């Protein structure tokens, strides 16, 4: 498969194969905003009238690791920035 670079304002999402709880997003992916990749979470929901719609959250900016893979930051409300990287996790 050829390398594909997202254009600004575009994104991709795929079915969340690791969804194990109702609160987990139905689809996950990434979106490019102002030249930076961000996490994208999408839930399929339904109105009281029974119409389907998408609830979307654009998350924090993806941080590149040494091997250029991306990893979702971990929330830590005890720190000023709110996020920690794997190096701060004790396990």
68 in any annotated domain:
no
6 in any annotated domain:
no
What the block records as the tokens of 33 is 């905003």
Strands (E), the chain: 11-15, 27-33, 36-46, 52-61, 63-64, 70-71, 74-75, 83-84
In the chain, the percentage of residues whose pLDDT exceeds 70 is 68
5 in any annotated domain:
no
18 in any annotated domain:
yes
Q: For residue 55, which of 17, 2, 13 has the smallest C-alpha distance?
A: 13
Question: Which tens digits make up the pLDDT trace of 21-56?
Answer: 999 999 999 999 999 999 999 999 999 999 999 999
81 in any annotated domain:
yes
Question: Which tens digits make up the pLDDT trace of 54-64?
Answer: 999 999 888 87
31 in any annotated domain:
yes
Count: domains in the chain: 1
**Which structural domain, as residue segments, surrounds residue 57?**
11-62+73-88
Q: For residue 44, which of 31, 33, 28 has the smallest C-alpha distance?
A: 28
pTM of the model: 0.65
In terms of phi and psi (left: phi > 0; alpha: psi -120 to 50; beta: otherwise), the region of 89 is beta
pLDDT tops 60 at residue 89: no
């Amino acid at each position: 498969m050829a390398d594909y670079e997202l254009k600004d304002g575009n994104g991709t999402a795929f079915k969340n194969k690791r969804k194990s709880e109702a609160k987990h997003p139905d689809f996950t992916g990434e979106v490019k905003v102002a030249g930076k990749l961000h996490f994208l979470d999408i839930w399929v929901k339904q109105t009281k009238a029974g119409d389907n719609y998408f609830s979307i959250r654009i998350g924090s900016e993806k941080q590149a690791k040494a091997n250029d893979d991306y990893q979702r930051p971990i929330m830590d409300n005890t720190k000023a920035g709110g996020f920690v990287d794997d190096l701060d996790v004790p396990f």
